[in-house]
Structure 1
Amino acid sequence: MSEASDDATDEELERIRERKKERLRSEGPDAARASDGDGQAADETPDEPVHVEDQAHFEEVVADGVVLVDFYADWCGPCKMLEPIVDDIAETTDATVAKVDVDAQQGLAREYGVQGVPTMFLFVDGEATERRVGVQDEGALRDLIAQHV
């Protein structure tokens, strides 16, 4: 990974931490007690999708917990339709949401047999457990996540 990619990833994580710290402050002292040393609750996941930078980053993101991975392309109309649903799921569920740009990460797309976008995978503790191709209903995605969190 290049230094610029490392810096971008570090900046993204820091923004997420700052938002969560602010939310914890606004929720009061009970919420603050539930957090770990950096102010982020120990069992919280990012409130925004994590954009995967490379293979190593992908493996790190899907390694633990429940992770919904959205393989997408910027030029894909159905992907754009799905984007607000994916963003909302990231913000409101206990799953991490990751986005993989198939044009930038062709090796990952090939490894997971992505032939059409959007394609979504649900990973549980590093293992792909579910695969969905095409635009998905928000309720169906929430139900899928709820089965594993």
Structure 2
Amino acid sequence: MTDPLEDERERIREQKRQELQQRLENGGELGDNAIASETPSDPIVIEGEKHLNEVVGEHDVVLVDCYADWCGPCQMLEPTIEALAEETDAAVAKVDVDAHQRLAQQLGARGVPTLVLYADGEPVERMVGVQDQGTLEGLIEQHS
């Protein structure tokens, strides 16, 4: 039995691979002197406060998803989070609020999902609840 979320993730990954291949073949956005984006195409699972600080310090724009495995809205948001990691220049990080309660409090996560957008090492946006992909892409673009 196949997992519909995994099927959707794989479809998005394949679409992104094809787009990148076309760009490289056509000499598109990635020129000879351009360096391919160093942001990971998968969400980064945060292991603690020090790890989050490293990720935020390493990348210009970071979207942090504070989630819980038992949270229905968090599960609904998961495909969007995966797509943003794959399709945007932002690094996407995930903080399990049950495993990292103190860090979740520091991030201001009073409910889940809570999304915190960092730009240049500073939190610039905080949203609670499920957000649509277009809204999040707009915020990432605004702060890139």
TM-score by length of 1: 0.74
1:60-113, CA deviations, whole angstroms, 9 ceiling, x for partnerless residues?
011130000000000000000000001001100011000000011111111122
**Percent of matched pairs sharing the same residue:** 53
CA contact 2:107–2:116 (8 Å) conserved in 1: no
Q: Tell me by how many angstroms 1:32 deviates.
A: 8.8
Structure 1 pair 144–32 and aligned structure 2 pair: CA distance change class (3 A): closer
Mapping 1:119-130, distance limit 5 Å = 119-130=114-125
Q: Segments of 4+ in structure 1 off by > 4 A?
A: 28-36
- For this pair of structures, how many residues does the alignment match? 122
Selected match of 1:137 from 127, 132, 137: 132
1:30-85, CA deviations, whole angstroms, 9 ceiling, x for partnerless residues?
6594466xxxx3x4311010000111100001113000000000000000000000
Structure 1 unaligned regions, length at least 5: 1-19
Selected match of 2:49 from 55, 64, 77: 55
Structure 2 unaligned regions, length at least 5: 1-16
Selected match of 1:91 from 86, 89, 106: 86
Structure 1 pair 29–140 and aligned structure 2 pair: CA distance change class (3 A): closer
TM-score by length of 2: 0.76
Q: Tell me by how many angstroms 1:29 deviates.
A: 10
Q: Tell me by how many angstroms 1:125 deviates.
A: 1.4
Separation in 1 of the partners of 2:130 and 2:26?
Answer: 40
